[in-house]
Amino acid sequence: MNKIELIAQMFKDKSQQPQKEIVQAFAPANIALCKYWGKRDTELNLPLTSSLSISLGNKGTQTQLQIIDSPSDEIYLNHKKINPEDEFAKKITQFINLFQEKSQFNLRVNTVNNIPVAAGLASSASGFAALVLALDQLYHWQCSPTELSILARLGSGSACRSFWPGFVEWQQGERADGMDSHGVHLADLWPELRLGVLMVSSAKKPMSSREAMEITKQTSILYQAWPTQVARDMKIIKQAIKEKDFIALATAAEHNAHAMHATMISAWPPICYSQPATLQAMQQIWQLRQKGLAIYFTQDAGPNLKLLFQAQDQAAVIEAFPELDMCEL
């Protein structure tokens, strides 16, 4: 058994028999304010540093699992059947096969996203979290969110942060089996905090984050400074959440994103997710900030920006970016 199969076995030991014909579950996307970039174990998706995110309320993935009378599993994305050889289908099939006794039954998996897939909007995070929640229902494991967080991490690292609303810290953990590397809910509420997605492009990203973070770790000299940057930003962000200090939070979040992208552009081959329109939007945000508007952003493995601001500035921000897609937090 490989390392992933060993973890999967712990869940199979709870139950391998489906308890229902059809189940469904929803998980929100999450946006990291302090990013996860680089692994200490590529098989188990164990990170080199902790990270911290905010969940996007109603934006995420709804996944339905249905037992079907068919010779193989069927994978649907937004109600459209996907070729089993497609990367997306293969990832899901491999994951559900960890729990299926092959000859027993097959599943139809329908993943419905209300965010663009693979555009750096963390749809793989909500996708794996929703899949794991649905598997928990199918097999009636009755797992805690922490256990499900550990399982979802195996599919996509950031998925381990999608089991709670609001702020979630992914504690890096120390154990080789990763059982202490999972999301932890931070109870703090911040009703005045706002996040809006500025879509620059919904095209599929040129390189997966899995591949990009590995190339960065292997080839960028700047990457050596990344854990120091994360340690500093984590401390500031956690303190800012406690004190509701927006400027401290947003400054550290934007700084953290620039530092992550700096490690990528200094990798070889260089990795750049920004497009000309991304840089134009950045310039516009910096100009607005100079004029006194408290608007900041973060950016993931894609060209889109997620704007951070406070309720009191929402009208001014929407006036500057009328196309902004507001997220419920």
Residue 152: closest CA among 162, 144, 166, 142: 162
Is the CB of 207 or the CB of 320 nearer to ligand PMV? 207
Span from 70-78, 122-130, 225-233, 277-285 in contact with ligand PMV (CB under 6 A): 122-130
The nearest distance, CB 269 to ligand PMV, in angstroms, is 18
Q: Where are the alpha helices (DSSP H) in 206-322?
A: 209-219, 226-243, 246-265, 276-290, 314-320
Is the CB of 137 or the CB of 146 nearer to ligand PMV? 146
Residues 184-203 binding ligand PMV (CB under 6 A) are none
Is the CB of 288 or the CB of 308 nearer to ligand PMV? 308
Span from 68-76, 118-126, 221-229, 287-295 in contact with ligand PMV (CB under 6 A): 118-126
Residue 51: closest CA among 127, 155, 152, 157: 157
268 residue type, one letter: W
The token duo for 65 is: 């699992």
Residues in contact with ligand PMV, counted by CB under 6 A, come to a total of 14
The answer to the question of residue 156 lying near ligand PMV (CB under 6 A) is yes
Q: How big is the chain, counted in residues? A: 329
Q: Using DSSP, state whether 325 is helix, strand or coil.
A: strand
Do 32 and 158 contact (CB within 8 A), yes or no?
A: yes
The answer to the question of residue 51 lying near ligand PMV (CB under 6 A) is yes
The answer to the question of residue 274 lying near ligand PMV (CB under 6 A) is no
Residue 43: Cβ within 10 Å count: 11
Residues 284-323 binding ligand PMV (CB under 6 A) are 300-301
Which residues make up the interface to ligand PMV (CB under 6 A)? 32, 35-36, 51, 122, 124-125, 156-158, 209-210, 300-301
